[in-house]
Amino acid sequence: MVDKLIHILLLLTMPPLLLGIINKTKAWFAGRNGPPVLQAYYDIIKLMRKGMVISRTTTWVFIAGPIVTLATVLLAGMLMPISRFNAPISFAGDLILFAYLFGLARFFTTAAALDTGSPFEGMGAAREVTFACLSEPALFFTLLVLAKVSGSLTLNNMLHCPAGAFSVAMAAPLVLVSIGLFIVLLAETCRIPVDDPNTHLELTMIHEVMVLDHSGPLFGIILYSASMKLFILGAVLLHIISPFQTKTIWMNWPLFIMEMFGLAIVIGIVESVMARLRMRHIPYLLISALLFCGFGFILLVRYYQ
Amino acid sequence: MPLDLIIIAIFLAAASGLPGLFLPRRTVWGQRIAVFMMCGSSIFGLAGVALALGVNQSRTIIFPWPAAGNSIIGIDALSAFFLVPVFLMSGLGSIYGLGYWPQLRHIRNSRKLQLFWGLLTAGMSLLVISRHAMAFLFGWEVMALAAFFLVTTEDQKDEARRAGWIYIIATHIGTLTLFGLFAMWRWATGSYDLKPVVGDAISLCVMNVLFFLSLLGFGLKAGMMPFHFWLPGAHAAAPSHISAMLSGIVLKMGIYGLVRFLSLLPDPPYMWGGLIILLGAVSGLLGVVFAIAQHDLKRLLAYHSVENVGIILMGLGLAMLGRSAGQPKWIVLGLACCLLHTWNHSLFKSLLFLSAGSVVHNVHTRNIDSLGGLAKTMPWTAAMFAIGAVAICGLPPLNGFVSELFVYMGLLGAVITNESLVSVIAVPVLAMIGALALACFVKVFGAVFLGNPRSAATANAHESPISMRIPMIVLAACCVIIGLAPVLLPPVLDGTISGWTIDSNLRALSIGDVAPLKAVSLMSILLVVLIISIAVFMRQNYRVSRCVGTWDCGYSASSSRIQYTASSFAQMIAGMFRWVLRPRTHRPRIEGLFPKPAKMYSHTDDLILDRAIMPAGRGFEKLFGWFRRFQQGITQQYLLYILITVILMMSTMIPFKEFITRLFAR
């Protein structure tokens, strides 16, 4: 029970901190001081106190976008086991609901972007749905590998198992899958090299440009749910790449938090050392993620036979 | 009792168009009587079906039919399951017709439409309850011909006539295949009765022939990928409630035929299930890819039927694999997906076609790129279309998610037990289909209902009458109910699934045991509650402080044409799939410092119809061109042919053999 409460508490409070760490890492690489680590919290609180300015063109869909996104991300966070602790909600087949919840969020985010009638936002929405067509199969290949390794269709067992059943033969497919999943994570959470969360140059953007017309509390919700999505997908990845546990059960919480910080720093490093890819080349990156996951699966099947 | 109710419903439906024929053209009463009778038929039919659903004892009536032995009709859970959408949609569609196709505005063809609408319903119900090959074919032909007259309702239009001819040729190739199938069936089993074959009464070779004939014959009707070529044209050209009926219900008769016929054959080989999954994956992927490239709202929806039939076939294939492998879990999950997606697709596809019809009715164009901003003028239609769009993308918390969950769980289960590699390909393909469908429906919903209107007609649109809104609301409510409360499904699905095979250990397994229906219901409700509570929280704490124009980068003279169009939205995906879409693009050449106004258009032809069948047809025409010399319309020539034929026939009487032996005998 306490673990579930900690889970919910972490899910609700920790995500914006990751943004702060990523930005701090980037600033350190650039030789700047950078904004405070808690800047994302200040931003969200400030936005929640502001008024809403919305476009005359919009309808209910525009407001539904952020609201549905927040609800789906919260629910996905409930399905997601953290560290060695079980998820608050778990049932056979929850992995499919987990993946499709993000689909629902995508439907309403992109529809809300089109609702403004702005060409920029249409452009962002088109890119978002197009790239999802490649990252979605990659995500499902990952889930396929995890299901095969663990022999289960429950996220709890699937994600805890790589730790338990870690053998050298499993390592190769899991390494390939985690590379693929890392690329999917960068694409889904709109980081460099797929998208640049800093610039507002509309012609090159995906996520930032879709939410150009959202302001005040709606934009605060968007920022918050985007960071939560990063937290959730990061937690999935951590299960695969770092299946370490300590003997003292409660110590796993601080361990997980440290690991999460580590992941945020890695993302920050990736963002610092790479440039954003040209828009034409992003599908190639995503196809490579798909191939990584696919090859991981083939290796796994060969091992079993 | 259930069977009697359904027979009453069939007669009511078949007769519903007749009174109108005897009434004057310029009166509303013909249509009103027809609608009244169709609603009656729906109520009787649904009552009968409700009594028969879940109860898996088939009651049969035998009536003598001298030409083909005794004909049998009967109802079991499977028939009842497929009758539900038929009777639901026939009633709702006729109500929709009151607003969409009123007699006084369509004096020329309204009576014809009502007559064949009733006959279509009657034909479909008859084929679903028949247990005899001849009665089945009778119902099949009534359905096929009635659908032809419905597709060509507006036979003054070139487009409708062309679509109608392609449709009738395709459907008759299917019927011909079915003739072959049932002749073979009679030869193999010794009777026209459609009863399960026990043990190894038929050899594997004959079973394979039967399987491929049924796949071709029923697949043509269901719109499976290589045989879908007649579908987009026919469904786009018909009036919208007829498109809804054709896409939502008539296609499902092909699925019914396949499900029913495969249940009769014992011990299927592995290859069948694998092939069906593969065909399903191809249909699903290419169906949605072609849908994305369309500019015509109804053509786009029609291609999505190909996609959904693909998902249904994936479920059926998984069930067949389960039968081959002796895995009851796969059978239950696969067949549950196949059946439930059949229902779901008839619900949300009809809903989408009806709301598309509501748009076409007001704006008089099907071109997506000239619509826009209709959510403000037609709020009901927009909301209904949004529900249909979320449902067809298979997203929670609506019904499409439930059936896709079944097939995902079955396929993943098959991967875990390491028995079938086909399902390995199927899982990522299904994920990709989902993402592409989402892209397509965001495009349509955004371009048609959101943003600013792109034409004057669109700007002046108004909401459709109540008679058109009620059917949409009923269908949307069904989508929501199935999505929020899939716990209600086991009583309906279990009887149907356990009756499908004669396998006894299947009886013990319920869909509730193998799929997390309770959890999904809870999660869906939780999701809805969460969304509503966040919305209420926002509403109570925040107010819109100012309404301004959309951010335009300081360029204030923008017009509605600056918006991202549906074509540009789909451009990247269409580019990724250029190898299969092969769009025809007409690009203007832009020269000089001040180029003249120019136009650019692109069109995506159908892969099979325009790239394979039409060129092949023209090739044959050229090849046999010399044959025309014999066909010149001169009576004397034909008399000469007859004379030559007679001489040739008489020449068979000449004892050549004896002649030759005598000649060389000496």
DSSP readout, A58-119? --HHHHHHHHHHHHHHHHHHHHS-BTTBPPSS--TTHHHHHHHHHHHHHHHHHHHHHHTT-H
Task: Check CB contact under 8 Å for B395 and A100.
Answer: yes
Of chain A, the end-to-end C-alpha distance in Å amounts to 41
B388–A contact, CB cutoff 8 A? no
Please answer whether residues B46 and B88 qualify as being in contact, where contact means their C-beta atoms are separated by less than 8 angstroms.
yes
User: Which residues on A lie below 8 Å from B552 (Cβ)?
Assistant: 118
Cα–Cα nearest to B244, from B97, B33, B393: B97
Q: Is B378 exposed, middle or buried (0-12, 13-18, 19+ CB in 10 A)?
A: buried
pLDDT number for residue A280: 85
What percent of chain B clears pLDDT 90, i.e. is strictly above it?
63
Answer whether residue B666 shows pLDDT above 70.
no
**B646-665: average pLDDT:** 84
Out of A120, A144, A217, closest to residue B542 by CB: A217
pLDDT number for residue A304: 63
Cα distances (Å, whole numbers) of residue B69 to B126, B180, B192, B337: 18, 18, 8, 37
- 3-class SS at B191? coil
Please answer whether residues A117 and A271 qualify as being in contact, where contact means their C-beta atoms are separated by less than 8 angstroms.
no
Indicate if ipTM > 0.90: yes
User: Which residues on B lie below 8 Å from A96 (Cβ)?
Assistant: 404-405, 408-409
User: Which residues on A lie below 8 Å from B438 (Cβ)?
Assistant: 103, 106-107, 129, 132
Among A148-157, B34-43, B487-496, B543-552, the range with the most confident prediction by mean pLDDT is B34-43
Q: How far is A31 from chain B (nearest CA, A)?
A: 32
Report the C-alpha gap between A71 and A14 in whole angstroms.
Answer: 17
- 3-class SS at B153? coil
Task: Check CB contact under 8 Å for B442 and A129.
Answer: yes
B425–A contact, CB cutoff 8 A? no
Most A-contacting residue of B458, B546, B569 (CB-CB within 10 A), to test interface:
B569
Cα distances (Å, whole numbers) of residue A49 to A52, A68, B542: 10, 21, 9
Kind of pairing between the strands at B70-75 and B59-64: antiparallel
User: Which residues on A lie below 8 Å from B546 (Cβ)?
Assistant: 51, 53-54
B431–A contact, CB cutoff 8 A? yes
pLDDT number for residue A200: 63
Task: Check CB contact under 8 Å for A93 and B516.
Answer: yes
Report the C-alpha gap between B257 and B263 in whole angstroms.
Answer: 10
Report the C-alpha gap between A148 and A125 in whole angstroms.
Answer: 34
User: Which residues on B lie below 8 Å from A72 (Cβ)?
Assistant: 527
Please answer whether residues B342 and B399 qualify as being in contact, where contact means their C-beta atoms are separated by less than 8 angstroms.
no
Cα distances (Å, whole numbers) of residue A184 to A237, A290, B506, B552, B575: 10, 9, 40, 32, 21
pLDDT number for residue B507: 62
User: Which residues on B lie below 8 Å from A212 (Cβ)?
Assistant: 551
Cα distances (Å, whole numbers) of residue B260 to B79, B134, B253, B275, B492: 9, 15, 10, 18, 17
Task: Check CB contact under 8 Å for A103 and B408.
Answer: no
Please answer whether residues A79 and A94 qualify as being in contact, where contact means their C-beta atoms are separated by less than 8 angstroms.
yes
Report the C-alpha gap between B285 and B255 in whole angstroms.
Answer: 18
Residue type, B561: R
Please answer whether residues B333 and B318 qualify as being in contact, where contact means their C-beta atoms are separated by less than 8 angstroms.
yes
pLDDT number for residue B547: 85
Task: Check CB contact under 8 Å for A117 and B375.
Answer: no
B76-88, pLDDT tens digit by residue?
A: 889 999 999 999 9
pLDDT number for residue B503: 62
Query: How would residue B63 be classed by pLDDT, with cut points 50, 70 and 90?
Result: confident
| Residue at token pair 């949409």 | B472
Query: How would residue B197 be classed by pLDDT, with cut points 50, 70 and 90?
Result: confident
- Long-range contact list for B456-460, CB < 8 A, 24+ apart? B457/B363, B457/B364, B457/B365, B458/B363, B458/B370, B458/B371, B458/B372, B458/B373, B458/B374, B459/B373, B459/B377, B460/B377
Listed in sequence order, the residues at least 6 apart from A188 whose beta carbon sits closer than 8 Å to its beta carbon are A102, A135, A229, A233
Query: How would residue B92 be classed by pLDDT, with cut points 50, 70 and 90?
Result: very high
Residue B182 backbone dihedrals phi, psi, to 5 degrees: -75, -30
Query: How would residue B583 be classed by pLDDT, with cut points 50, 70 and 90?
Result: confident
Please answer whether residues A173 and A303 qualify as being in contact, where contact means their C-beta atoms are separated by less than 8 angstroms.
yes
Q: Where do the H-state alpha helices sit in B393-421?
A: 399-416
DSSP E strand boundaries for B167-222:
none
Report the C-alpha gap between B439 and A134 in whole angstroms.
Answer: 12
DSSP B455: S
Answer whether residue B235 shows pLDDT above 80.
yes
Report angle CA A99, A101, A104 to the nearest 5 degrees: 120
DSSP A203: G
pLDDT number for residue A167: 66
Answer whether residue B346 shows pLDDT above 80.
yes
Burial B539-551 (b: 16+ CB within 10 A, else e): eeebeeeeeeebe
**B495-500: average pLDDT:** 84
The tokens for B565 are: 């169009």
Residue B396 backbone dihedrals phi, psi, to 5 degrees: -70, 155
Task: Check CB contact under 8 Å for A133 and B439.
Answer: yes
Task: Check CB contact under 8 Å for B435 and A57.
Answer: no
Closest-approach residue (CA) in chain A for B379: A59
Per-residue pLDDT of chain A (305 residues; tens, 9 = 90+): 888 999 999 999 999 999 999 999 999 999 999 999 999 999 999 999 998 999 989 999 999 999 999 999 999 999 999 888 889 999 999 999 999 999 999 999 999 999 998 888 899 999 999 999 999 999 999 998 888 888 889 998 888 866 555 566 678 888 899 999 999 999 999 888 888 877 766 566 788 888 889 999 999 999 999 999 999 999 999 988 887 777 788 888 999 999 999 999 999 999 999 988 888 899 999 999 999 999 988 888 877 65
Task: Check CB contact under 8 Å for B442 and A136.
Answer: no
pLDDT number for residue B530: 96
Listed in sequence order, the residues at least 6 apart from B179 whose beta carbon sits closer than 8 Å to its beta carbon are B137
Closest-approach residue (CA) in chain B for A102: B395
Closest-approach residue (CA) in chain B for A99: B431
Cis before residue B379, ω within 30 degrees of 0? no
The tokens for B603 are: 């069109």
Listed in sequence order, the residues at least 6 apart from B99 whose beta carbon sits closer than 8 Å to its beta carbon are B361, B464, B465, B466, B467, B468
Element (H, E) at B60: strand B59-64
pLDDT number for residue A164: 53
Please answer whether residues B174 and B229 qualify as being in contact, where contact means their C-beta atoms are separated by less than 8 angstroms.
no
Element (H, E) at B70: strand B70-75
User: Which residues on A lie below 8 Å from B372 (Cβ)?
Assistant: 117
Task: Check CB contact under 8 Å for B434 and A117.
Answer: no
| Residue at token pair 């749910």 | A225
Cα B213–chain centre separation: 20
Please answer whether residues B499 and B56 qualify as being in contact, where contact means their C-beta atoms are separated by less than 8 angstroms.
yes
B470-480, pLDDT tens digit by residue?
A: 999 999 999 99
What percent of chain B clears pLDDT 70, i.e. is strictly above it?
97
User: Which residues on A lie below 8 Å from B427 (Cβ)?
Assistant: 140-141, 144
Answer whether residue B422 shows pLDDT above 90.
no
DSSP E strand boundaries for chain A:
52-55
User: Which residues on B lie below 8 Å from A104 (Cβ)?
Assistant: 390, 395-396
B375–A contact, CB cutoff 8 A? yes
B375-416, pLDDT tens digit by residue?
A: 999 999 999 999 999 999 999 999 999 999 999 999 999 988
B256-282, pLDDT tens digit by residue?
A: 999 999 998 888 899 999 999 999 999
Answer whether residue B223 shows pLDDT above 70.
yes
User: What is chain B's mean pLDDT, rounded?
Assistant: 90
Out of B436, B550, B572, closest to residue A117 by CB: B550
Task: Check CB contact under 8 Å for B548 and A216.
Answer: no
